[in-house]
Amino acid sequence: MLDADDAEEDEEVPALLRQRGCSRQTLLVARDGVCDNLSEALEKLKLASTDSATDSVESCLDCLLKALANNNTEASMKIQEMGVLPLLPTLLNPQSSCTPKVANIIAEVAKNEFMRSPCVEAGLIPPLIQLLNSTDQEVLLQTGRALGNICYDSHEGRSAVDLAGGAQIVAEHIKSLYQNTEPENEKLLTVFCGMLMNYSNDNDSLQAQLINMGVIPTLVKLLGIHSHNTALTEMCLIAFGNLAELESSKEQFASTNIAEELVRLFQKQTEHEKKEMIFEVLAPLAENAVAFRLNRLVQSSLNVLFSFSLPDVIKLQLVEAGLVECLLEVVAQTVDGEREEDIAQLKTASDLMVLLLLGDESMQKLFEGGKGSVFQRVLSWVPSHNHQLQLAGALAIANFARNDGNCIHMVDTGIVQKLLELLDRHVEEGNVTVQHAALSALRNLAIPVVNKSKMLSAGVADVVLKFLQSEMPPVQFKLLGTLRMLIDTQVEAADQLGTNGKLVERLVEWCEAKDHAGVMGESNRLLSALIRHSKSKEVVRTVIQGGGVKHLVTMATSEHMIMQNEALVALGLIAGLDLVAAEKDFVGASLVSVLHKLLSDERSAPEIKYNSMILICAVMGSEPLHKEVQSLAFIDVVSKLRAHENKTVSHQASLTEQRLTAQS
C-alpha cells in the first residue's frame, strides 16, 4: 500500500507516469500560462514563500502538482535538488488556502522511496500532525495521504509520526467519523485506514499501540456500515491484516462480530477478486496455509494474514454465521473450472473448510453425530478426481477424528475403505500431500482401542506398508505413527509386522535420520512397540539381526521420559527373551553405562529408575555384562534408592541390591 487515495482510482498515477518526452528543464509546459517550466516554478516558490504572497505561491504550487502528475520521479528529484522541501513547513498553515495543495505535493513526492527520509529531515511531520486537528475535510484528506506515504516502509517516517502522536489523532478521527456514510467522508476514512496500515505494517510495537488504542472494534463497525464502499472495505480488510499479526489482537477480535460481518460481506460479493480478498481475511484460521497469487491489495495483506490464528470462539462464530454454506457453494461452482481464478478459489474455499474444523466446538457442530450434511459433503470429496478436494477431504476426516466417539462412528460407517482406496490411487508417483493427509486420518482413526482390530482386518497395515519406500519425511512420519497406533495392544499384528524383515530394516535405517528428528523418533518408538506389544522371541531376533538394539539403547537416553520408558521396557524384554543373542549388541552400545547414568541422575522419573533396575537384574545372566555391572559399583547407587519416596522404586531397589550382593 503506497497511497490510500489511489484505492479508488488505481490506474490514475501509472497512466500519467507513462507520459514521456519532456526534457528535464521543460518538464511541464503550462497549458494555462502559469509557468514555463518546473525550475522556474520552484525558483518563484522559494521567493514567494518568503513574502507570503498567496496568489504567487498558489500558482507555483499548481505548477508543481502538474509536474508531479506528469512525471513524479523526475519532478520529485528536482524539488529535492533545489532545496524546496525545507520551505514547505512554513506553508503548512492551517489558515492558508494553499495548505491542502502543499500537503498534496508532500503526498505525491513521498510516493518515491528516496524522498521519505528527506521529508522527515525537512521537518514536515510536526506541522502535518498539527493539521490533523483541522476541521477542513480537504486538509485532513491530503494530510492523511502525506503522512501515510511518508510512513510507507520508512522507519524514520514512522518514528517521527509516533513521536508526534499522529496515530492517536487519526484513530480518534476514525472513531468519530465511522458512522458517517457521505462519499467525501468515506474517502477520508479510506485514507486514514491506509495511513494506519502504512504506519504499523511489520512493526510489532506500533501494531500493539494501535490495538491498545482500541481500533479493532471501530474497524469492525466501520466494515459493517460501509460494506457498500469497495475502496473503504478493502482498506479496512487490509488494516485488519496488519493488526492481526499480534497475539494481543485475538481478544479484541473475539469480542466483536467480525465473523458475522465478514460472512455477510462475502455473501454479497460476485466479483472474483473481492471474494479472494475476503478469503484472505478469513484465512487467519490457517496456521500453515499456502498463499497463491492475488491482486495488489490482496497481496499486501497476505503476508500478515496467513500467520494469524484466531481463537476457537471465532471459528465457531464463522460456522454459525453461515460461512460453511458459502464455502461449499464456491467449491461446487469451481470444482470443474480450469481458469486460474477457479483453481485458486477452490483451493482457498476447501482449505478454509478444513481449517474451521480445527476448533473443537465448530468441528463437533459440523459433525452432528456423523449425520451432518456438511460432514457428508466433505466425505464426498475423498473419491473425487480433483487432488485439491481429495486432500481437503482427507484432512477434514483427520480433523473430525479428534475424539473417540467420532472415530468409532467413522470406522463403523466405512470411511476407512474410502481412505484406503484413495491411498491406492497415490502409491506410484502419487501426490505427497494427499498421501500425508490420508495417513494422518488413518492414524487418528486408529487411536480408539475398538477401532484397531477393525482397521487391521480392513487391510490398513498392508496398504500403509506400500509406502515404505517413500523418501518423503512427512509421509514417513505419518506412516510410522499409523502403524504404531494400529499395533498398540494388538499382539498378532505386532508379531506379524515385527517379523517383517523389510520393515525392521527400514526402521533401523530411519532411526539414523538425524536430519528428520520426527521420523527418527517415530522409528525408534515403533521398533520398541513391536517388541513390547508382541512379547515375541521371533520379533526380538528380527530386531537384533536388523541392528536395532543399539538404537533402543540410545532411545533410553532421550530427553522425553515416555520414550526412555518405552525403550527400557523393550530392552528388558530383549534381555528376558534372548539375552545370549543380544549380549554383543548390549556391550557394544554401552547399555550398562547408560543404566548407571539413569539411576544416578536425580532428575530421572520413578518409572525410569524402576525399569532400569529391572533391566540390570535381567542382564546379570550375561558374564561380560555382569562384569560391567560390578565394575561400576551399582550397589552404591541402588542402595541409596532404598530411601526413595516412591514405594515401588524403593522396593525394587531392595530386591536389586539383594540380587547384586548375591552375585557379587
Question: In a 10 Å sphere around its CB, with 0-12 CB exposed, 13-18 middle and 19+ buried, how is residue 81 labelled?
Answer: exposed
For residue 532, being part of any structural domain is answered with yes
pLDDT of 287 higher than 50? no
pLDDT of 442 higher than 90? yes
Are 580 and 598 found together in one domain?
no
Are 537 and 562 found together in one domain?
yes
Q: What local confidence, expressed as pLDDT, does residue 347 receive?
A: 87
Specify the number of domains making up the chain.
2
Q: What local confidence, expressed as pLDDT, does residue 309 receive?
A: 54
CB 488 within 8 A of CB 508: no
For residue 555, being part of any structural domain is answered with yes
Q: What local confidence, expressed as pLDDT, does residue 341 receive?
A: 78
Mean pLDDT of 447-452: 96
Q: What local confidence, expressed as pLDDT, does residue 280 receive?
A: 59
pLDDT of 264 higher than 90? no
CB 231 within 8 A of CB 8: yes
Are 603 and 617 found together in one domain?
yes
Q: What local confidence, expressed as pLDDT, does residue 278 receive?
A: 61
Are 565 and 598 found together in one domain?
no
For the chain, what percentages of helix, strand and coil (3-state, to nearest 5) are there? Answer: 75, 0, 25
pLDDT of 394 higher than 80? yes
Q: What local confidence, expressed as pLDDT, does residue 242 receive?
A: 74
Q: Which stretches within 311-459 are classed as H helix? A: 312-320, 323-334, 340-356, 360-367, 373-379, 387-400, 404-412, 415-424, 432-445, 449-457
Are 642 and 581 found together in one domain?
no
Strands (E) across 25-176 are located at: none
CB 378 within 8 A of CB 413: no
Are 570 and 603 found together in one domain?
no
pLDDT of 664 higher than 70? no
For residue 513, being part of any structural domain is answered with yes
Q: What local confidence, expressed as pLDDT, does residue 240 receive?
A: 80
Q: What local confidence, expressed as pLDDT, does residue 53 receive?
A: 56
Mean pLDDT of 16-37: 33
Mean pLDDT of 306-328: 75
Mean pLDDT of 228-245: 81
Q: 172-189 pLDDT, tens per residue?
A: 999 999 999 999 999 999
Q: Mean pLDDT over all residues of the chain?
A: 85
Mean pLDDT of 276-301: 40
For residue 313, being part of any structural domain is answered with no
Are 550 and 615 found together in one domain?
no
Report helix, strand or coil for 270: coil
- What's the rounded Cα separation, in Å, for the pair 185 and 183? 5
Mean pLDDT of 151-165: 96
Report helix, strand or coil for 287: coil
- Cell, residue 280: 484472505
Q: 42-79 pLDDT, tens per residue?
A: 877 776 666 555 667 888 888 889 999 999 999 999 99
Task: Show Cβ contacts of residue 427 under 8 Å, excluding neighbours closer than 6 positions.
Answer: 466, 467
User: Pick from 111, 101, 108: which is nearest to 69 by CA?
Assistant: 108
Which one of 537, 561, 587 terminates a domain?
Answer: 587
For residue 613, being part of any structural domain is answered with yes
Are 598 and 657 found together in one domain?
yes
pLDDT of 107 higher than 80? yes
pLDDT of 422 higher than 80? yes
Please give the single-letter amino acid code of residue 134. Answer: S
The one-character DSSP state at 246 is S
CB 194 within 8 A of CB 174: no
pLDDT of 285 higher than 50? no
Mean pLDDT of 527-537: 97
Which one of 551, 568, 587 terminates a domain?
Answer: 587
Report residue 14's pLDDT band, with 50, 70 and 90 as the boundaries. Answer: very low
Q: What local confidence, expressed as pLDDT, does residue 28 receive?
A: 29
Mean pLDDT of 324-343: 86
Q: What local confidence, expressed as pLDDT, does residue 393 receive?
A: 95
Q: What local confidence, expressed as pLDDT, does residue 47 receive?
A: 67
Mean pLDDT of 229-249: 80
Three-state DSSP string of 273-316: HHHHHHHHHHHHHCCCCCCCCCCHHHHHHHHHHCCCCCCHHHHH
* Phi and psi, residue 298, nearest 5°: -65, -45
Mean pLDDT of 305-328: 73
Which one of 571, 587, 603 terminates a domain?
Answer: 587
For residue 646, being part of any structural domain is answered with yes
CB 174 within 8 A of CB 134: no
Q: What local confidence, expressed as pLDDT, does residue 286 receive?
A: 35
For residue 659, being part of any structural domain is answered with yes
Q: How far is CA 284 from the centre of its chain?
A: 8
Q: What local confidence, expressed as pLDDT, does residue 20 receive?
A: 27
Mean pLDDT of 484-503: 96
Report residue 277's pLDDT band, with 50, 70 and 90 as the boundaries. Answer: low
Q: What local confidence, expressed as pLDDT, does residue 298 receive?
A: 30
Are 657 and 630 found together in one domain?
yes
Are 626 and 656 found together in one domain?
yes
For residue 79, being part of any structural domain is answered with no
Q: What local confidence, expressed as pLDDT, does residue 290 receive?
A: 30
Task: Quote the domain boundaries for residue 624.
Answer: 590-663
pLDDT of 547 higher than 70? yes
Q: What local confidence, expressed as pLDDT, does residue 262 receive?
A: 79
pLDDT of 254 higher than 90? no
Report residue 304's pLDDT band, with 50, 70 and 90 as the boundaries. Answer: very low
C-alpha neighbours within 13 Å on the C-beta side of residue 23: 5
Are 658 and 595 found together in one domain?
yes
CB 656 within 8 A of CB 648: no
Q: What local confidence, expressed as pLDDT, does residue 30 receive?
A: 33
Are 649 and 597 found together in one domain?
yes
Count each helix (H run) and each strand (E run) in the chain, helices first.
42, 0
Mean pLDDT of 574-588: 95
Mean pLDDT of 409-423: 96
